[in-house]
Amino acid sequence: MKNRGRTAFIVTYLAPAVLLYGVFVILPVLQAVGYSLFKWSGLSSKKTYVGFDNFKQLFHDDVFWQALLHNAWIFLFGGSAILIVAIAVAHGMQGESRATKALRSVYLFPNIMSLVVVAILWEFVYDPHIGLLTSVMKLFGGGATHRSGAAGIDTSILGSPTQALPAVIVTFVWFAVGFYIMLFSAGIRQIPQEVAEASKLDGAEGLFRFRKITLPLLWSVGRIAVIYLVINTLNVFALVFLMTQGGPDRKTEVMLTYLYEQAFVNSDYGAATALAIANFVIVMAVSGIVLRLTRKDPTGVSH
Amino acid sequence: MNAVISVGKKVLTVVALTAFTLAVLIPLLWMVLTSFKSGPEIFASPWGLPGKIHWENFSHAWQTAGIAHFFLNSLIVTVATLAFLIPIGAMAAYVFARYPFPGSKLLFGTFLGGMMFPQFLTIVPLFFLMNTLKIGAYSLYDTKLGLTIVYIAYSLPFTVFVLTGFFQTLPKDLDEAAMIDGASHSKVFWRVMLPLAKPGLIVVGIFNGIGLWNEYSLALVLIPSEANRTLPLGIANLVMVEHYQSDWGALFAGLVIVMVPVLIVYWVFREKIHETMLAGALKG
């Protein structure tokens, strides 16, 4: 009785999801592997099989390495800033009162907004004429004359080869940190009340308690946070694309903005797909390495 | 002595947290403030208050800059996506949760794998696929229909993941009792299980809705024409391509128009949204 029409039910109810997912997600993933082995400018007549040439070319492409390096800077500097701020805020703002909960929700605002709004807003923050930051700098006597020079040389922050990447990283931190605060707050909540109480009774105080009790118990949440950072920093796109387009002079180029350029500006679809696969492999490899390195909790606290 | 140190620490904590909160909020408040100012006021000082509230910035953004049109496009695409995504996702999730069959674990795993693929892995093949697939004489490329279909497909992994977990928590004897009463599998799903899953469906809908409303990268590649531009594409285009900077007030008003609906929805459902984000992060 229970099996009446069971198979038919399973098939019909899975079909729409499987079909959509198969055609629009799985098929393009498989195609990506194929595309990366061809030299192709979009006209099907000019599609030639080149084996791993696209990957070899990528390996010898200075722009790719430059882009990868910028992704690495965003991960290292942006990521550490996010971890430090998130753990500090989560630690300093424990408890479940209305006010703390409301504040944690406010911290998530930038994360909930469209990245497009975040990017444009910060472009304006850095704007030499109307920007918040310029006015702050003026307040402290610096940066009084940020103007496009007579020769049309852009002297704004996002136009500066040395300041543009740090400026993008600051925006990334502002955008992302709320999520990590929420993550670490949840981690701190999971610490059993007895452990916290016992450590207080034992006289463990302040920074010592934080280092010896709180931090080790946050290990597993910390691993998740780092994996998220790896994925999100190696896949930065909209923020850079909208704020600097990878410029000036590729000084903020990241893997995905370069991929976009290769595909939709240069019409070099084979090279773009090879880059997409390289990006995916790098994300997986770095995540794997992070998981391996952090598998054993060095503090030796089991939980 | 200890008391002094602990008071000092409390003060320090409060000062640091206040500074952090201001750092998060000031750019947002500045954006809202500027959206009410006139052009000369914006250039005079970023901190100054507007002499009077320039509502016309909003009407300029809405009408002259074409935000109304983009807003409507975003609304159509988001609502249409959710209208199909939720039932399709729920049907699949229900089968994964309640009807194990040979290979169901593998298939479920394949769906979850989709949460790991970065969108850019598939962007070039997807671009050509949309150009190739035709309905009548028109390809799916540069259509709201095409974008909607892609959005459904790319939202499925997360939706199926969350809803499968939800269906697993519903009591098992309910559907068994209904089946004994002679109801079919479909009837049990639509009449008994789906109504029970309503809280889960709402959360998934809100969560996806926010993400779809904000989505930029896929739309950027799949929608070149102004007629079909969604709100994020439209506002980005105003700034990047059309250099709408002659009307700063309207630009800021445009940003506020993009942001406000999302923040209102978020604020209403924030507890549930946090739970879902954490469930995804900590289990995934």
DSSP chain B: -HHHHHHHHHHHHHHHHHHHHHHHHHHHHHHHHHTTS-HHHHHH-SSPPPSS--THHHHIIIIIT-HHHHHHHHHHHHHHHHHHHHHHHHHHHHHHHH---TTHHHHHHHHHHTTTS-GGGSHHHHHHHHHH-EETTEESTT-HHHHHHHHHHHHHHHHHHHHHHHHHHS-HHHHHHHHHTT--HHHIIIIIIHHHTHHHHHHHHHHHHHHHHH--HHHHHH--SGGG--HHHHHHHHHHTS-GGGGHHHHHHHHHHHHHHHHHHHHHTHHHHHHHHHHHHHH-
- Closest-CA distance, A14 to chain B, in angstroms, reads 5
- Closest-CA distance, A211 to chain B, in angstroms, reads 16
Average pLDDT over residues B147-157: 95
Q: Sort out which chain B residues have CB atoms less than 8 A from A135's CB and list them.
A: 45-47
Q: Given an 8 Å threshold on Cβ–Cβ distance, is B216 in contact with A114?
A: yes
Average pLDDT over residues A178-203: 79
How much is the pTM? 0.90
Lowest mean pLDDT among A197-211, B47-61, B118-132: A197-211
Mean of per-residue pLDDT scores for chain A: 84
Highest-confidence segment of A148-157, A290-299, B113-122, B251-260 = B251-260
Please check whether residue B152 touches A, CB under 8 A: yes
Q: Which of A13, A105, A264 sits opposite B91 (nearest CB)?
A: A13
Please check whether residue A196 touches B, CB under 8 A: no
What local confidence, expressed as pLDDT, does residue A192 receive? 72
What local confidence, expressed as pLDDT, does residue A303 receive? 45
Please check whether residue A303 touches B, CB under 8 A: no
In terms of pLDDT, which residue wins out, A115 or A144?
A115
Please check whether residue B160 touches A, CB under 8 A: yes
Interface of A with B in 58-117 (CB under 8 A): 85, 88-89, 92-93, 103-110, 112-117
Q: Sort out which chain B residues have CB atoms less than 8 A from A17's CB and list them.
A: 88-89, 91-92, 111, 156, 160
Please check whether residue A221 touches B, CB under 8 A: yes
Q: Which of B95, B150, B273 sits opposite A13 (nearest CB)?
A: B95
Confidence tier at A205 by pLDDT (50, 70, 90): low
Interface of A with B in 144-183 (CB under 8 A): 174, 178-179, 182-183
Interface of B with A in 9-48 (CB under 8 A): 9, 13, 16-17, 20-21, 23-28, 30-31, 34, 42-43, 45-47
What local confidence, expressed as pLDDT, does residue A1 receive? 46
Alpha-carbon distance A63 to B8, whole Å? 51
Please check whether residue B207 touches A, CB under 8 A: no
Confidence tier at A238 by pLDDT (50, 70, 90): very high
Lowest mean pLDDT among A24-33, A56-65, A153-162: A153-162
Residue A236 has pLDDT above 90, yes or no: yes
In terms of pLDDT, which residue wins out, A219 or A66?
A66
Residue B49 has pLDDT above 50, yes or no: yes
Q: Given an 8 Å threshold on Cβ–Cβ distance, is A114 in contact with B213?
A: yes
Which ipTM was obtained for this model?
0.90
Q: Which residue in chain A is spatially nearest to B209 when comparing CA positions?
A: A112
